Amino acid sequence: MHLFKVIDKHIKQELPFMATENIIMAMVSAGGNRQECHEKIRTLSQKAAERVKI
């Protein structure tokens, strides 16, 4: 059972970052530049990861 707790912990840590592609697609659909949106999300994701993945 310990293995499943470890897997669950890692999924919960990574899931928000896995959703970024959907966010980028929504930004582009709203008229954003794909490269600029990707860079913004990448930068914000890195900052969030620094705080979450201590």
17 occurs within a structural domain: no
6 occurs within a structural domain: no
53 occurs within a structural domain: yes
Torsion 18-45-12-19 (CA) sign: negative
Determine the pLDDT at residue 54.
54
- From 16, 22, 11, select the one nearest 44 (Cα to Cα): 16
45 occurs within a structural domain: yes
48 occurs within a structural domain: yes
Per-block mean pLDDT, blocks of 10 residues, the chain (54 long): 86 82 95 97 89 70
8 occurs within a structural domain: no
Range of the domain at 33: 26-54
Domain total in the chain: 1
Determine the pLDDT at residue 13.
79
Contact present, 52 and 13 (Cβ < 8 Å):
yes
